[in-house]
Amino acid sequence: MATFLQLAQKAARNCPIPGGGPVSVTDTTPQETRMIAEWVADAWTTLQNVRRDWRWMQRKATFATTPNTSVYTPTAIGAQVADVLTLDGWERVFRYSFGTQRDCLVPYSEEGQFVAAHGEDVPTETGQPTEVTVRERDQALWLWPVPDDVYTVHVRFKIAPAALAVDADTPGMPAQHHDVLVWDAVEKWALDRGAENKVRQAVAERRRLMLSLIESQTDDFDIGWGNPLA
Q: What is the pLDDT of residues 102-124, one digit of tens each?
A: 566 777 888 899 999 998 877 78
Q: What is the pLDDT of residues 152-161, one digit of tens each?
A: 887 777 888 8
How much of the chain exceeds pLDDT 70, in percent? 84
pLDDT at 165 over 90: yes
List, as one string, the DSSP characters of the chain.
Answer: ---HHHHHHHHHHHTT-TTSS-S-TT---SHHHHHHHHHHHHHHHHHHHH-S--GGGEEEEEEE--TT--EE-TGGGT--TTSEE--STTTTEEEEE-TTPPPEEEEB--HHHHHHHH-SSPP--EES--EEEEETTTTEEEEESEESS--EEEEEEEPPP----STT---SS-GGGTHHHHHHHHHHHHHHHT-HHHHHHHHHHHHHHHHHHHHHH-S-------S---
pTM: 0.78
